[in-house]
A = this chain, B = another copy of it.
Amino acid sequence: MINAVGREIPDEILKRYGKEGFMGSCYRDNKPYKKASVSSHGMLDPNRKKVVSSIKEALEKCGAHDGMVFSFHHHFRDGDYIVNMVMEAAAEMGLKDLTVCASSLGAAHRVVAELIEKGIVTGIQTSGIRDKIGEAVSYGKLKTPAIIRSHGGRVRAIEEGDVHIDIAFIGAPTADEYGNLRAIGGKSDCGVLSYSVVDAKYADYTVAITDTLVPFPNFPPSISMTDVDFVCVVDEIGNPDKIASNVIRMTQDVRELKMAEDCAKVMAATPYFRDGFSFQTGGGGASLAVTRFLEPLMSERDIKMSFAIGGITRPMCELMEKGFIRTIVDAQCFDKTAIESISKDPRHYEISTSEYANPLNKGAFVNKLDFVILGALEIDKEFNVNVTTGSDGVLRGAPGGHPDTAAGSKCSIIVAPLIRSRIPTVVDRVVNVTTPGEAVDVLVTDYGIAVNPRRQDLIEYLTKAKLPVVKIQELLDMAKSIAGEPEPIKFEDEIVGIIEGRDGTIMDVVRRVKPQTTIHEIL
């Protein structure tokens, strides 16, 4: 079938996964559905203990066997040690046919790429799929298609039973011996454990891995003892210094700063920019820089933000400290300042990823967002955005909260340069659709600002504010005139990845890249 973003989804895929193609952002609104029935086991004997001496012992006590699904969170990002520790222990035990269901995977997880090559890991379900893992999948090394979801979509998938987690592993900065877990107060803090909340509730078994055991009760917990089976103490669970990676960076680039300033001006030109507005921004250079341009505009109008959400970084924490933000709700700390802030500032709250973005709960924070600033690897004439595959067709990105916030917010703004390393961002047709154009309102580039024609109201506001509004076709023409017509990527027929819409319908499929394709290094 051809889905609502014009992508052909093979019937065989729809049938195999029991899915529909993407039908529009509100297709499943208010439609009844059933959540998965959770398998559990009671703790009636007060004398039974939870502490185990090694990951191997935890795996054994959970009855680990071939074919299982293991889940992980990525709050440590490039500093994560947990995935490799667990997967190495599993491989040493001779387990095979394993699926890694992580909230994201990245450069820290080359062990997973190796286990894909060895045929030990045969399934991947994730948001981010980068680096060696992205290449392994794109070149057809994984035995089943990788399933790529947004953060909200992952919660939905677990709750609906699209993926059944056999064992959830949670790197916990602090834990007590009964499994109350917190993300602060330890020697390797990551600030929040938002992604793992759903894993702990839906997995058959939950194993906490900590490097800091604290007295009972470790309160208030991010994950409660009521959801934890075993507590395993190791030397180190991660390196918080590596949380802020290249993906999250403060820019000094003049072009990026200009675009960031334009984003702030777009925001200020809309009626949503009023006292009590809400805001999220991504971790990319220009996105992140928007925050600093907001301050003078807010100051001028004497308005405050009701809540900032995300992906929280230093500029956001500083804006709250200065009194411009009333509340920060945090599903991921993107740097050490954010971790320090949530450790000490009572206005800075942890939320679960369901609260953040799950499209099928009864109301997530993304629905209350006024503005979100997002990046793009590519964007096409229909405003469809690709943040999953590079323009060489290789998996190198992450939907993250992109499709969730774009769908929920009143005004979603994509910020991207027209050309990156001679490769156009604005294209006729994106390699893969991550976020449907119907959820994207504005595109800010270094060559002008395009507004989705669905949003005539925004076109009026931005024009009235004398912002350089152009048609997206004009941007596309400019891109072509500068960088030329891009060469089409050569794909095999084989499907190596499935990009799910946040509601579980299928947005797009990722095909195997022919090995001769040149790999462009795109951020």
Q: Which residues of A contact B (CB under 8 A)?
A: 25-46, 48, 50, 156, 178-179, 206, 215-217, 219-220, 224-229, 276, 306-307, 327, 329, 349, 352, 354-355, 358-368, 407-410, 503
CB atoms of B28 and A34 under 8 A apart: no
Provide the residues of chain B in CB contact with A327, threshold 8 Å: 217, 219
Instruction: Given A35-B38, A37-B37, A178-B363, output 13 extra A-B contacts at Cβ < 8 Å.
Output: A32-B39, A34-B37, A34-B40, A35-B37, A36-B37, A40-B360, A41-B360, A44-B359, A206-B362, A216-B307, A219-B349, A226-B362, A226-B363
CB atoms of A46 and B215 under 8 A apart: no
- Most chain B CB within a 10 A radius of its CB, from A33, A216, A217: A217
Cβ of A25 to closest chain B Cβ, rounded Å = 6
**Count of identical protomers in the assembly:** 2
Cβ of A304 to closest chain B Cβ, rounded Å = 12
Top 10 nearest A-B pairs (CB, nearest first) are: A42-B360, A46-B367, A226-B361, A29-B44, A35-B38, A43-B363, A37-B37, A29-B45, A225-B363, A26-B45
CB atoms of A43 and B227 under 8 A apart: no
Question: Which listed residue (B48, B178, B360) contacts A29, Cβ 8 A?
Answer: B48
Provide the residues of chain B in CB contact with A362, threshold 8 Å: 40-43, 179, 206, 225-229
Once the chains are docked, how many angstroms separate the CA of A28 from the CA of B25? 44
Provide the residues of chain B in CB contact with A368, threshold 8 Å: 46, 178, 216-217
- Most chain B CB within a 10 A radius of its CB, from A48, A355, A366: A355
Q: Which residue on B lies nearest to A366, using beta carbons?
A: B46
Question: Which listed residue (B41, B355, B361, B407) contacts A40, Cβ 8 A?
Answer: B361
- Most chain B CB within a 10 A radius of its CB, from A27, A29, A31, A410: A29
17 example contacts (A-B, Cβ-Cβ < 8 A) are as follows A30-B42, A30-B43, A32-B41, A35-B38, A41-B362, A42-B156, A42-B359, A42-B360, A43-B363, A44-B503, A46-B367, A46-B408, A179-B362, A215-B276, A215-B306, A225-B364, A226-B364
Q: Which residue on B lies nearest to A347, using beta carbons?
A: B219
Provide the residues of chain B in CB contact with A354, threshold 8 Å: 226
Provide the residues of chain B in CB contact with A42, threshold 8 Å: 28-31, 33, 156, 359-362, 503
Once the chains are docked, how many angstroms separate the CA of A36 from the CA of B40? 11
CB atoms of A220 and B40 under 8 A apart: no
Provide the residues of chain B in CB contact with A358, threshold 8 Å: 226
Provide the residues of chain B in CB contact with A206, threshold 8 Å: 362
Once the chains are docked, how many angstroms separate the CA of A471 from the CA of B25? 71
Provide the residues of chain B in CB contact with A216, threshold 8 Å: 306-307, 368
Q: Which residue on B lies nearest to A44, using beta carbons?
A: B29
Provide the residues of chain B in CB contact with A41, threshold 8 Å: 30-33, 360, 362
Provide the residues of chain B in CB contact with A43, threshold 8 Å: 29-30, 359-364, 367
